[in-house]
Amino acid sequence: MYLIDRVWRIAATGFSFALFGVGSLLIAIVMTLILFPLPISFQVKGRWTRVVIRRATWFYIRIMKGLGLLTFDFHDLDRLPTGGALIVANHPSLLDAVFLMSVVPNCLCIVKEAMTKNPFTFATVSLAGYISNGQAGEELVNDAASALKRGQNLMIFPEGTRTTSSDQLALQRGAANIALSAGCSIVPVVIECFPPTLRKNEPWYSVPEKPAAFRFRVLESIRQDSYLSSGLPNRKLARNLTQTLHDTLLLELQRADSC
Amino acid sequence: MSYTKEQIFERINDVLQDQFEIAPEKITLGADLRDDLDIDSIDAVDLMIELKPLTKRKMLLEDFNDVKTIEHVVDAVYDVVMEEQKKSQ
C-alpha cells in the first residue's frame, strides 16, 4: 500500500512540475495576446499579469492538494498588506513562493536569473515585472525599492536560497537594505513544512514519507519608524534590522517546534 | 594630495569600525572581506563611497576586480590615487 502511495505521489509530483511549466507558458501566451495590443502602460500590464498569477497559483496549490501531495493552512492572512510592503519569509521548500503568490495581492518577487532564461517561465516573469537576481547588488536594491515605492508588494527570502538547516537561519542583508532604501513596513511570514519536501539539492522525485503539511503564519508587521529613525549609519541599520528579522523568524520557528 | 598605503588602511579601518560595526581586532590587512568581515556587495558599494574623499573619483567596479582582502582594497585604492595624481600633474 505504501509503495502504491509513493509511486502515485512521484507521478503526481512529476505531473505538477509539468503543469507548472505549461501553466506559465500558457499565461505568457494568453497575456501577451490579450495585453500586447492594448494601449496601456507596462506597469498596468504587469499588475494584470500578477492578478492572473495569483489566481493561477491559488488553483495550482489546490490541484497539488487534490492529488494528495500536500496539505496547507494559512494563518492571519488579514495581516497581509494591500501594497508597498516587504514580505520576508524563511524558505524551507521550492513551493514557498508559489504559496505566497497565491495569497499576497499585487506581489512582486525576486527570481533566479535562470528563470528569466527558461523558455517556460521567461515571458511570464518578464510580463509580471519580477526582478532578476542576476544584476549587481546595488541595482537590485534600487529596482526593488522603487517597486515598493510604486505601491507593489515584494516578497523576499532573505536567506537568499532555500533553508538547509532546521535550527538556524543565515540571513543575507539584501532584504534589510531594500527595506531601508524604500522606507517600507516589513511583514514577516513563518513557513513550516513537515515532513520537509523539495529542499535545496533534493530531486523532485524524492517524495517525503507522507504528504508534506505546510503552515504559513503571517506575523505582525514591523513598522518603518521602528527601524528607520535612529540616526545610525545605514550599514549599522542594515545589520540591526537583519538581526531583528532573524530573531523574529527564528523565535516563531522554535515556538512552533516546541508545541 | 597623495596618500600612503598606511593612511589608506587607517581610513578603511575607521570606516569599517564606525559605519559597519566591525570589531577593531578583526580588521587586519589579511582579513577576507566576505568570510572574516561579513561584507556583502551592498556594503562594498558603501565602502567605495566612503573612500571617495581619498580617490577623488568614484571607484568603479573594475577597480575592485579580484578584491578579496583588506590589503587588496588598500592596493586598489592606492592605484586609483596614483592614477588620479598622474592625471592632475
Q: A236 CA to chain B: closest CA distance, Å?
A: 6
Please tell me the distance from the alpha carbon of residue B28 to that of residue B16, in angstroms, as a whole number: 11
CA A39 from chain centre, in angstroms, equals: 30
Question: Which bin fits B56, alpha (ψ -120 to 50), beta or left (φ > 0)?
Answer: left
Cell numbers found for residue A19: 503543469
Categorize the per-residue pLDDT at B1 as very low, low, confident or very high, splitting at 50, 70 and 90: low
Categorize the per-residue pLDDT at A159 as very low, low, confident or very high, splitting at 50, 70 and 90: very high
Average pLDDT over residues B82-86: 85
A137, A138, A236 ranked by CB distance to B19: nearest: A236
CB contact under 8 Å between B45 and A137, yes or no, is yes
The vertex-A172 CA angle with B55 and A144, nearest 5°, equals: 75
CB contact under 8 Å between A174 and B42, yes or no, is yes
Please tell me the distance from the alpha carbon of residue A244 to that of residue A238, in angstroms, as a whole number: 10
A173, A233, A234 ranked by CB distance to B40: nearest: A173
Q: What are residue A72's phi and psi, to 5 degrees?
A: -155, 150
Closest C-alpha to A178, from A43, A112, A111, A87: A87
Q: Which alpha helices (H) appear in A80-136, and where do they start and end? A: 96-103, 122-128
Categorize the per-residue pLDDT at A155 as very low, low, confident or very high, splitting at 50, 70 and 90: very high
Residues of chain B contacting A172 with CB distance shorter than 8 Å: 40
CB contact under 8 Å between A236 and B41, yes or no, is no
Q: What are residue A36's phi and psi, to 5 degrees?
A: -55, -45
CB contact under 8 Å between A137 and B21, yes or no, is no
Name, in order, each residue with C-beta under 8 angstroms of A89's C-beta and a sequence gap of 6 or more: A96, A100, A155, A156, A157, A188, A189, A190, A191, A249
Categorize the per-residue pLDDT at B34 as very low, low, confident or very high, splitting at 50, 70 and 90: confident
- Using alpha carbons, list the distances in angstroms from residue A155 to A46, A50, A183, B46: 16, 13, 15, 24
Please tell me the distance from the alpha carbon of residue A222 to that of residue A90, in angstroms, as a whole number: 16
Q: What are residue B20's phi and psi, to 5 degrees?
A: -110, -5
Residue A71 forms beta bridges with which residues?
A: A213
Cell numbers found for residue A88: 520576508
B41, B46, B61 ranked by CB distance to A235: nearest: B46
Confidence (pTM) = 0.88
Categorize the per-residue pLDDT at A166 as very low, low, confident or very high, splitting at 50, 70 and 90: low
Closest C-alpha to A98, from A239, A193, A232, A224: A193
Q: A189 CA to chain B: closest CA distance, Å?
A: 24
Name the closest residue on chain B to residue A173, using Cα atoms: B40
Closest C-alpha to A85, from A183, A215, A208, A206: A183
The answer, for B49 touching chain A at a CB cutoff of 8 Å, is: no
Interface test with chain A among B12, B20, B42, by most A beta carbons within 10 Å: B42
Percent of chain A exceeding pLDDT 70 equals 98
Percent of chain B exceeding pLDDT 90 equals 38
Residue A187 forms beta bridges with which residues?
A: A87
A137, A234, A238 ranked by CB distance to B41: nearest: A137
Whether omega before A203 lies within 30 degrees of 0, making that bond cis, reads no
CB contact under 8 Å between A137 and B19, yes or no, is no
Strand A212-218 versus strand A186-194 pairing type = antiparallel
Please tell me the distance from the alpha carbon of residue A131 to that of residue A156, in angstroms, as a whole number: 11
Q: Which strand (E) or helix (H) includes residue A71?
A: strand A70-75
Mean pLDDT of chain B: 86
Chain A residues with a Cβ under 8 Å from any Cβ in chain B: 136-138, 141, 172-174, 177, 233-236, 238-239
The vertex-A59 CA angle with A6 and A40, nearest 5°, equals: 145
Categorize the per-residue pLDDT at B84 as very low, low, confident or very high, splitting at 50, 70 and 90: confident
Q: Which of the residue ranges A104-113, A140-149, A182-191, A196-205 would you say has the lowest mean pLDDT?
A: A196-205
Would you state the pLDDT for residue A57?
A: 97
Does A259 score more than 70 pLDDT? no
- What is the torsional sign of CA A187, A193, A197, A201? positive
* Residue B56: other Cβ atoms inside 10 A: 14
The vertex-A98 CA angle with A97 and A104, nearest 5°, equals: 80
Categorize the per-residue pLDDT at B86 as very low, low, confident or very high, splitting at 50, 70 and 90: confident
Cell numbers found for residue A134: 542576476
The answer, for B14 touching chain A at a CB cutoff of 8 Å, is: no
Q: Which of the two residues, A243 and A230, has the higher pLDDT score?
A: A243
pLDDT in tens, A94-140: 999 999 999 999 999 999 999 999 999 999 999 999 999 988 788 99
* Residue A117: other Cβ atoms inside 10 A: 12
